[in-house]
Amino acid sequence: MDFPHLGFTGPPIDDADILDKLPAELVALLRERNGVVVLSGGFHLRGACTTPGWHSLRAAMEGPMALHRLFPEVKPTDVPFAEEACGDQFLLRDGVVHRLAAETGDIGSLELPLLPFLERVRDDGVATLNLEPLLAFLEAGHHLEPGQLLSVFPPFILTASEGGVTLKAVPAVERLLFLADLARQLHDLPDGAEITFKTVP
């Protein structure tokens, strides 16, 4: 499957064992092209490789930074095959794509199998993935390197974000750790709760 604005193609498959844990349609895609970063950083499809770590499906599924370790709603049996520019994750669960809203840790079904979902990403990635923050970042003259995600502050879930947000490119692992910590702290708070961010030097 060809995507627009190809920015990175994964290295040759060097983790063939992980393919045994993936659905057949994803394996077929990875054998054709071992993951990609497309849409100017808007969509990252992970690959069956050991390095780079940010691109590794095994790292996302089983490593110390596995998504199910960071976000309690993610199951060890989920396949976290992709992410969008701000860090929301896309999981395969029982053959259906689910989206992890990483600021809250909530998961919702997109009610689409893998290939129809990827076709929507290819045909209208901005609408499918809600890439307006990335468009604003790009229009300001910035860009995302492979392995980076967009830091958004204040987080979109807070009403303070309605006054505008600061967008910055950060390493993907840094963004995911921040989001997991945010989701954990917000988990039991009621709607409308007041929170204060402390800046740690």
What digits encode the pLDDT tens for the residues 18-57? 999 999 999 999 999 999 999 999 999 999 999 999 999 9
Residue 159 has pLDDT above 90, yes or no: no
pLDDT of residue 197: 53
Q: Which residue has the higher pLDDT, 196 or 167?
A: 167
Q: How confident is the model at residue 191 (pLDDT cuts 50, 70, 90)?
A: low
Measured at the CA of 40, the angle between CA 110 and CA 171, to 5 degrees, comes to: 85
The C-alpha atoms of residue 117 and residue 177 are separated, in whole angstroms, by 26
Beta bridge partners of 80: 91
pLDDT of residue 72: 94
pLDDT of residue 201: 46
Q: Which residue has the higher pLDDT, 67 or 196?
A: 67
pLDDT tens digits, one per residue of 170-180: 999 999 999 99
Domain assignments of the chain as residue spans, ordered by start: 8-186
> H-helix or E-strand containing 108?
strand 106-109
The C-alpha atoms of residue 98 and residue 88 are separated, in whole angstroms, by 10
The C-alpha atoms of residue 38 and residue 112 are separated, in whole angstroms, by 20
Task: Give phi and psi for 114, each to the nearest 5.
Answer: -60, -55
- pLDDT (mean) for 178-188: 87
pLDDT tens digits, one per residue of 105-158: 999 999 999 999 999 999 999 999 999 999 999 999 999 999 999 999 999 888
- Enter the pTM of the model: 0.91
Residue 186 has pLDDT above 50, yes or no: yes
Side chain identity, residue 151 = S
pLDDT of residue 193: 53
